[in-house]
Chain A
Amino acid sequence: MIDSVELQNLQEKAKNIRKNIIEVVYNAASGHPGGSLSIADILSVLYFKELNIDVNNPKDENRDRVVLSKGHCAPALYSALAEKGFLPKEDLKTVRKLNSYLQGHPDMKHTNGVDMTSGSLGQGLSIANGMALAGKLDNKDYRVYCICGDGEIQEGQIWEAAMSSSHYKLDNICVIVDNNNLQIDGSVDNVMNPYPIDKKFESFGFNVVVIDGHNINEIIDAFEKARQTKGKPTAIIARTTKGKGVSYMENQAGWHGKAPKEEEYKIAMEELGM
């Protein structure tokens, strides 16, 4: 457990990440706010409590790694990285624009703090496994976090990779499934039912933790359980709300990949406490 000051701080960071997300998507006039907002609390805990990373040495070979397998939620990743200090906040206004280093999907070659390029769904866990295997080979104790969408796990490669994580006993792997229940064409169970997600990962040999993905204490606790689990990878199934924090975006599939107009932007920023 953490004290109330730290809890408040992490909640504050999550709120700032959400504001940044809205800024990014509004300024870009395109992008993916829904699934970005749903992982804001997870990113807050990752970047401000969990990860062993150094803003001044982003390529440190002993650092923990994050693979945002659901790469379309780049606004959330950029927002967390800016909040952490990996990139200037004013650069967030350039996301998706010609000649900006901040591409529509994460580009590891041009953005400090981005450990892997992503965008084509379903590939992140395999990549995270490669990083984790390299760590084991070199006797390094860094950990690798892979964030997937609940729609994304419809990709077969995720399950190839899940088999590998477990086969190679990668206890330095922690998969986080952002279970916001929505994808572009509707609710995940209507489009192509991935449930029961927890039992699927369990049967693939994972230690599974199901949490409320907006509850800071539960997120912290889940990462702690993952770290303490030896001999097998951990999957955190985070129950979340797509569009969390902006009333009119919450639980609306339509806000998967759409930018707010000026009036909507103002409402969102007011709701987030600007």
Chain B
Amino acid sequence: MDFENKKATRQSYGEALVELGKENKDVVVLDADLAGATKTNMFAKEFPKRFFDMGIAEQDMVATAAGFSTCGKIPFASTFAVFATGRAYDQIRNSICYPNLNVKICATHCGITVGEDGATHQMLEDINLMRGLPNMTVISPADDVEARWAVKEAAKVNGPVYIRFGRAATPVIHETDGKLELGKAIQFGEGTDATVFATGIMVAEALKAKEELEKEGINIRVVDIHTIKPIDSEMIIKCAKETKKLISIEEHSIIGGLGSAVAEVLVENCPAKLTRMGIKDTFGKSGNASELLKYFGLTSKEIIEEVKK
């Protein structure tokens, strides 16, 4: 796999929105003064009448999106994940999820790879917040292909969807979106020494680890969980039965995110030990993205060490 072919999923989001806008005239896009960073400015340029900058007012933006949806529009509301899911949580809960409205919350700048801006802008609890909401679908794309697919797929779901995009360029791991299906995880390899359940940009790190370990005769499989909710229980149970060791990894807090979702499936179906890799109940900090991934132990190196333990 060519890990040097990279693209940021926020860029994929911006491009996919333009394509979607051409196909579906009901799509409207809202942003909160971050259109250049979230890449919704591409949609704004192409469809100025269907783009609404709501200023630095995330609560208003999210609730306005709810109003749009009651009139048959398909609103995509975007800002950084920390503001989208944190500041506007009550609006998402009460005005979107409870009435099950067709609003897409597409957040960029998730996790520590936001980098230099530091803890206030590095959202590590968004999966936790969004997956706890009834009616909400949660997608965490791993690369460009999954990100584009997620945008199109979200438009097909008649209800709230949360999609988590990143700031930093990340390896493109898929050639096509042919195998992608909502709620179905993707298994890479048949190894039985360990399963690494990964989501978002951690999928590429897990795949790097898989290649390295193969050279030493250790065969693992990587399970790319792009849909965190609904989670692919069947795949998790299958891997728990077929492999000796289970690890989850996410660029998110180990509380309430992918690791917790996998653990919930395991304890109810086939109790097994799971090692949760991720941010260990702490806030992020300033630094560049790759330094931070090393600092927090979220690279292929730490995955390899964990598999060998």
Report A's interface with B, CB cutoff 8 A: 61, 65, 67, 107-109, 115-120, 122-123, 126-135, 137-138, 156-157, 160-161, 163-164, 167-168
Contacts and interface: CB of A to CB of B under 8 A. Distances in A.
B88 to A, nearest CB: 9
Contacts of A61: 71-72
A115 B101 CA distance: 12
A108 B70 contact: yes
B57 A130 contact: no
Task: Give the 9 A-B CB pairs with smallest separation, nearest first.
Answer: A130-B67, A126-B63, A134-B71, A160-B60, A160-B57, A127-B67, A117-B99, A130-B64, A120-B94
A93 B63 CA distance: 31
B52 interface: yes
A167 B98 CA distance: 29
Interface string B70-110: 11110100000000000000110111001110000000000
A79 B68 CA distance: 27
Nearest to B30: A130
Contact of A127 (B50, B52, B63): B63
Given A116-B67, A120-B94, A137-B28, A126 B99 contact: no
A134 B135 CA distance: 24
B49 interface: yes
Nearest to A140: B71
Contacts of B52: 133, 168
B64 A127 contact: yes
Nearest to A116: B70
Contacts of A156: 59
A129 B63 CA distance: 9
Q: Which of A107, A128, A161, A168 has its CB near the most chain B CB atoms (within 10 A)?
A: A161
B54 interface: yes
Given A120-B90, A127-B95, A137-B49, A161 B70 contact: no
Contact of B91 (A123, A134, A168): A123
Nearest to B28: A137
Contact of B59 (A108, A109, A126): A126
16 contacts: A61-B71, A67-B67, A108-B70, A116-B95, A119-B94, A120-B93, A120-B95, A123-B91, A126-B63, A127-B70, A130-B65, A130-B68, A137-B49, A137-B73, A160-B55, A160-B59
Contact of A164 (B64, B73, B90, B94): B64
Given A126-B61, A127-B63, A133-B68, 20 more contacts: A65-B70, A107-B99, A108-B99, A120-B93, A120-B94, A126-B64, A127-B70, A129-B60, A129-B64, A130-B63, A130-B64, A130-B67, A130-B68, A130-B70, A130-B75, A131-B68, A134-B72, A135-B71, A157-B63, A164-B57
B interface residue count range (under 10 / 10 to 19 / 20 to 34 / 35 or more):
20 to 34
Nearest to B53: A167
Contacts of A109: 99-100
Given A130-B65, A131-B67, A161-B63, A116 B91 contact: no
Contacts of B72: 61, 134
Contacts of B112: none
A163 B66 contact: no
Q: Which of A118, A119, A130, A134 has its CB near the most chain B CB atoms (within 10 A)?
A: A130
Given A109-B99, A163-B57, A126 B94 contact: no
Contacts of A115: 70
A116 B71 contact: no
B104 to A, nearest CB: 14
Nearest to A122: B59
A131 B69 CA distance: 8
Contacts of B60: 126, 129, 157, 160-161, 163-164
Contacts of A157: 57, 59-60, 63, 91
Interface in B127-180: none
A67 B62 CA distance: 16
A110 to B, nearest CB: 10
Contacts of A120: 90-91, 93-95
Contact of B67 (A122, A128, A160): A128
B67 A129 contact: yes
A163 B61 CA distance: 12
Nearest to A128: B67
A134 B74 CA distance: 10
A258 B28 CA distance: 42
Contacts of B54: 164
A163 B64 contact: no
A128 B73 CA distance: 14
B57 to A, nearest CB: 4
B129 to A, nearest CB: 16
Nearest to A71: B94
Contact of B66 (A65, A127, A164): A127
